[in-house]
Homo-oligomer: A and B are copies of this chain.
Amino acid sequence: MIVTMVPECTDEQVGRVISHLREFGYQTHTLVGAGPTVIGATGRGVSDELIDQIGGLDGVSLANRSMQPYMLAQRAARPAGSRVPVGEDAQVVIGAGDLTVMSGTCSVENREITLEVARAVRAHGGQMLRGGAFKPRTSPYSFQGLGEEGLQILAEARAETGLPIVTEVMEPEQVELIAEYADMLQIGSRNMANFPLLRRVATSGKPILLKRGFSATVNEWLMSAEYILAGGNDQVVLCERGIRAFDTSTRFTLDLNAVPLVKQLTHLPIIVDPSHGVGIRELVPQMALAGVAAGADGLMVEIHPDPDSALSDGDQTITLDAWERMMASVSAVRDAVQGSMGLAVVA
């Protein structure tokens, strides 16, 4: 069962719902945060009578059977959708209707490049700066990132440009350190089912960008989000970044079907990463537009002043100029799509 409280509910009212459910033998999982409080109950079947009873308690907005195994993440828990504030004073809010574009180099390489890129992001309409300080690399012999030095560089770029920063965390022991610097913690594709890491970031106090495992079903992805929500953190943003299919003519296959599907299934915002999703520089801007048209709440795009010299992922990284041109088109497509909001609902 899933119970959504009214926005102005009191702690006492929440407590009464929980007590009631426990009396009847359920385990409860409470989601508190930027949106309405949600209480999930697991452990036994649900009668219509109980739903009516709980639905009639003070402070309860909705009580429903849970139709999905990701009880707290499902759409019915917060039908209006979640908004995820990022940065000091919530200067960026993801899922609030506008498009959030996060850009930056794949790896943080040095101070100069990072600052140049941050200024370009700021100048041409980007809202957040991305960059990897700890990098998951297929080969132990590849560049593994600058570590804490990379985090310091990102923080300096934020200080100058005001852009909140998002960076990847690879293991539970890193969470505390990275949370000191970053405004948003990224769980990479290879760690989507790293459950100890998900449990740890749930208690970090930071919003989480949860990339889809490149071979994860949408259901598994939402179950990973559920780990974070059930751990007490409701600030989760999903990121579609391409799945592994049989055709290697592109690096991955950007699964844009997942965007409107996820909007049906969950209240969490979703952004699209066309850089990893296609893996070929020349095709990235066009796929960014496709992601916007598919209904994404934002984009993550890798950029570099000189992509051919990038220390990682250069093949899928676009120049600052290409990015600036892309942003103009992104705005045009976003406006066109927002003029046709509600499409899915009426189909």
Choose one: B139, B277, B286; the contact of A69 (CB below 8 Å): B139
Cβ of A55 under 8 Å from chain B: no
Cβ-closest chain B residue relative to A255: B253
Q: Are A286 and B259 in contact (CB under 8 A)?
A: yes
Docked-complex contact A245 and B248, CB < 8 angstroms:
no
| Complex CA–CA separation, A332 to B337 (angstroms) | 8
Give the size category of A's interface with B: 35 or more
Within 8 A of B (CB), among A303-323: 318-319, 321-322
CB neighbours (8 Å) of A64 from chain B are: none
Q: Using a CB-CB cutoff of 8 Å, which residues 271-297 of chain A contact chain B?
A: 277-278, 280-287, 289-295
Residues of chain B within 8 A of A259, CB atoms compared: 286, 290
Q: Contact at B170–A196, with CB atoms within 8 Å?
A: yes
Of the candidate stretches A77-85, A153-161, A210-218, the one touching chain B is A210-218
Whether B339 and A326, one on each chain, are in contact in the complex, defined by CB atoms closer than 8 angstroms, is no
Which of chain B's residues have a CB closer than 8 A to the CB of A140? 195, 199, 223, 226-227, 230-231
| Max chain B Cβ within 10 angstroms of own Cβ: one of A191, A230, A335 | A191
Cβ-based interface call for A182 (8 A): no
Asked if B249 and A246 make an inter-chain contact with CB atoms under 8 angstroms apart, the answer reads: no
Nearest-neighbour CB distance to chain B for A263, whole angstroms, equals 8
Knowing that A71-B141, A260-B283, A285-B347 touch, tell me 11 more A-B residue pairs with CB under 8 angstroms. A172-B172, A172-B173, A257-B283, A259-B290, A261-B280, A282-B347, A284-B347, A286-B295, A289-B293, A293-B333, A333-B337
